[in-house]
Amino acid sequence: MNSKLDKLSINVIRFLSADMVQKAASGHPGAPMGAAAMTYALWQKHLKHNPADPSWCDRDRFVLSAGHASALLYSLLYLTGYDLSIDDLQSFRQWGSKTPGHPEHGLTPGVEATTGPLGQGFGNGVGMAIAEKWLAARFNKPGYSIVDHYTYVICSDGDLMEGVASESASLAGALGLGKLIYLYDDNKITIEGDTANYFNEDVGARFRAYGWHVIGPIDGMDPEAVDTALTEARSDTTRPKLIICRTIIGYGSPTRAGTGAAHGEPLGDAELSAAKECLGCSHLEPFQIPAEVHASMSARAIGEARQLEWQRLMNRYTAAFPVEAAQFQDFLAGNLPQGWNDGLENMFKPSEKPLATREASGKIINLIGKRIENLLGGSADLAPSTKTVMEFESLFGASNSTARNLQFGVREHAMGAVLNGLALHGGIIPYGATFLVFYDYMRPSVRLAAIQELNVVYVFTHDSIGLGEDGPTHQPVEHLAGLRSVPNLVTIRPADAAETAFAWEMALERQDGPTALVLTRQKLPIFDRTEMGAATLTRRGGYILWQADDNPKIILIATGSEVHFALAAAKIIQGEGIASRVVSLPSWEVFEAQPQAYRDQVLPPEIWRRVSVEAGRSLGWERYVGCRGVIIGLDRFGASAPGNVLFEQFGFTSQHIAKAARTLIGEIDG
């Protein structure tokens, strides 16, 4: 791999990347110039992929966790034959471009994950490897390895400093993910310069302690050394691998190589020309690719041959195991089995005892989990509290790869990133659970799931001051507002067990983004909705739960456990001659997606007297109560006391709501 053509190809990758940054007048040239040799070795000698079909299910996954080096990835994609043109490269970081500043899954062919926030791609790779291991254990038969691929990740010094990477690495080692190989671009430079003052740990020792097979340090500038290391890594299928590659950031740049100055800004015309001359490439004009490099790096022919070989194997598998083959294809297509939601609508009866929505969710998981056999999930060490264990299933682990209960440990952020990796891989419907207050620990991963439109389900329990004695550190106050602020994230806070069933149904039927289910610790009565015929209206995000007569004078709007207080208040003022309507609004996002006529039917504009009730920040409720309505919320932190005491002390009672309603109506509060 040290032939003249190899060296020229590596330099073309370097300078094509640097040319992109230079033309855009922004970007990161240093990492692509330093990591070109090791990525060339991986892509030329080891990566199994087909540029003609980026979605081939048995391809190796390649994740650039160091997403700021996006120009490197675009160069590789273009040179190996993906659907990118030279014009796309010249439009790097521009409006409408297929080559944005950081890789975006779903926008650029061949990009496996949206990366850039450091450490996220590291966690995504762990999720992808779990998916491969589970699908292989589930479907492979002797002589029929239809699932047999690796997950490769390029990570940087910055990635390894982030806590999410440490959490994910620890989990990967415990799970023995032997098809997971990371190339660590160890250039010892970040934006602030040399890392000696703030990142001088023994990374190899840390990863060995995690249970990883560590190779190196090796010379990451030598493609032959990287090739040898990758061959060694592939020979061990029992542990994840970290190959420590010593590289030089901005390699070739006469004055910036090995310095922070090479990291995040264009080299400049003079420096870039000097770098080309330094590496013997002064003949290369901007965006020039020699024909021999194009010919040698194109992976289309070998990729198509590999996929054809796999397809022949798949055809034989289908003939031998038709039931398994059909299920495999359904998993990959994201199809839900027929009848998966039978009985959900009537699963919980008003005559039953009060039930916490977290408990209802647990019952639902154990019903649909038997029907949806690729539903995988678990909790960040809170399964007994979040009720997210499939009781008929065992625990996924290093020696139990077919199980579907995942244990993430006390690692919320890793859980979020791993869930994204599971969804990105395909074939898996992932869910993850923790207390709502700990959503803060995983928010970056949730945000990326929303950006990528991933079908991930989050189960956030202990949703308010109602959790009680654990106090303000564990009582979410601002978190509902935070969830609702994330574009493309649907948040559902059901009022009882019946709404919880519909919430799960909505979450699993969604195909364009993640869903957060926000559930109670405390038990709640199950409403009798037969009077209003409102049962299925939960699916519309907001609906009329109850009203006194056909001419309500005031509307009480609430979510979750507070709907019960609102209904009780409505019946109090009904006895005083005040006709009201109670609206349950479990999901703002779903409600806002309904036709205006339906929204006006539920919340008629002419009824301006409105009271909203939610045990969280009042921020945002103005859209539903207007400037003259009353918002009953919680704009302070909670306290340590039993939940029922806290609701009373903070004004979440039927009497307090009734008083607010009287005030709006103009009645005198006796």
As to burial, measured by CB atoms within 10 angstroms (0-12 exposed, 13-18 middle, 19+ buried), residue 217 is: middle
Distance CA 267, CA 29 (A): 7
Strand order in the sheet with 180-186: 61-64, 151-156, 180-186, 241-246, 213-219
- The whole-number pLDDT of residue 2 equals 83
Distance CA 36, CA 13 (A): 6
Q: Which amino acid is it at 16?
A: L
Phi, psi angle pair for 168, to nearest 5°: -70, -40
DSSP 102-140: S--TTTSTT--S---STTHHHHHHHHHHHHHHHHHHHH-
Query: Counting every residue, how long is the chain?
Result: 670
Distance CA 321, CA 314 (A): 10
* Domain layout of the chain by residue ranges: 4-303, 344-518, 538-666
The arithmetic mean of pLDDT across residues 104-116, rounded, is 98
Distance CA 25, CA 474 (A): 46
Contact 357, 388 (CB under 8 A): no
Task: Dump pLDDT digits (tens) for 268-288.
Answer: 999 999 999 999 999 999 999
Binned at pLDDT 50, 70 and 90, residue 532 comes out as: low
pLDDT at residue 668 greater than cutoff 60: no
Task: Dump pLDDT digits (tens) for 341-387.
Answer: 999 988 999 999 999 999 999 999 999 999 999 999 999 999 999 99
Task: Dump pLDDT digits (tens) for 41-54.
Answer: 999 999 999 999 99
CATH of domain 538-666: 3.40.50.920
HSE at residue 433, side-chain half, CA atoms within 13 A, is 29
Distance CA 427, CA 178 (A): 19
Binned at pLDDT 50, 70 and 90, residue 667 comes out as: low
Distance CA 503, CA 501 (A): 5
Residue ranges at the known binding site: 28, 68, 116-118, 157-158, 187, 189, 263, 358, 385, 438, 462, 470, 474, 521
CATH of domain 4-303: 3.40.50.970
CA distances for 23 relative to 15, 32, 34, 46, 302, angstroms: 12, 15, 20, 32, 33
- Higher-confidence residue of 535 and 421: namely 421
E runs forming strands in 191-302: 193-194, 213-219, 241-246
Distance CA 670, CA 662 (A): 10
- Indicate the DSSP class of residue 394: -
As to burial, measured by CB atoms within 10 angstroms (0-12 exposed, 13-18 middle, 19+ buried), residue 360 is: buried
Beta bridge partners of 403: none
Task: Dump pLDDT digits (tens) for 609-640.
Answer: 999 999 999 999 999 999 999 999 999 999 99
Distance CA 252, CA 370 (A): 58
Element (H, E) at 156: strand 151-156
Contact 650, 469 (CB under 8 A): no
Q: Same CATH fold, 538-666 and 344-518?
A: yes
Cβ within 8 Å of residue 15, ≥6 positions away: 272, 275, 276, 281, 284
Residue ranges at the known binding site for thiamine diphosphate: 68, 116-118, 158, 187, 263, 438
Query: Could you tell me the pTM of the whole model?
Result: 0.98
- The whole-number pLDDT of residue 530 equals 76
Phi, psi angle pair for 9, to nearest 5°: -60, -45
Distance CA 651, CA 641 (A): 15
Task: Dump pLDDT digits (tens) for 76-93.
Answer: 999 999 999 999 999 999
- Indicate the DSSP class of residue 228: H
Is 192 annotated in the active site?
no
Residue reference for tokens 């945000």: 447
As to burial, measured by CB atoms within 10 angstroms (0-12 exposed, 13-18 middle, 19+ buried), residue 409 is: middle
Cβ within 8 Å of residue 484, ≥6 positions away: 491, 588, 589, 620
Percent of the chain with pLDDT over 90: 97
Task: Dump pLDDT digits (tens) for 444-477.
Answer: 999 999 999 999 999 999 999 999 999 999 999 9
Distance CA 265, CA 439 (A): 34
CA distances for 410 relative to 99, 398, 434, 517, angstroms: 36, 18, 10, 20
Burial 572-611 (b: 16+ CB within 10 A, else e): bbbeeebbbbbbbbbbbbbbeebeeeebeebbeeeeebbb
- The whole-number pLDDT of residue 669 equals 45
CA distances for 443 relative to 424, 436, 467, angstroms: 18, 11, 21
Task: Dump pLDDT digits (tens) for 214-258.
Answer: 999 999 999 999 999 999 999 999 999 999 999 999 999 999 999
Task: Dump pLDDT digits (tens) for 324-338.
Answer: 999 999 999 999 999
Residue ranges at the known binding site for substrate: 28, 263, 358, 385, 462, 470, 474, 521
pLDDT at residue 670 greater than cutoff 50: no
End-to-end CA distance of the chain: 89
Closest CA to 47 of 32, 62, 37: 62
Cβ within 8 Å of residue 401, ≥6 positions away: 133, 134, 136, 137
3-state secondary structure of 331: helix
Task: Classify strands 580-584 and 151-156 as parallel, antiparallel or unpaired.
Answer: unpaired
Q: Does domain 344-518 have CATH number 3.40.50.970?
A: yes
Residue 19 token pair: 């040319």
The arithmetic mean of pLDDT across residues 166-177, rounded, is 98
Residue ranges at the known binding site for Mg(2+): 157, 187, 189
The arithmetic mean of pLDDT across residues 515-537, rounded, is 86
As to burial, measured by CB atoms within 10 angstroms (0-12 exposed, 13-18 middle, 19+ buried), residue 377 is: buried
Which residue among 112, 162, 412, 614 is the active-site one?
412
Residue reference for tokens 């969604």: 510
Distance CA 296, CA 527 (A): 68
Residue 234 token pair: 């592939």
Q: Which amino acid is it at 107?
A: L
Cβ within 8 Å of residue 77, ≥6 positions away: 51, 84, 108, 109, 110, 111
Burial 188-198 (b: 16+ CB within 10 A, else e): bbbeeeebeee
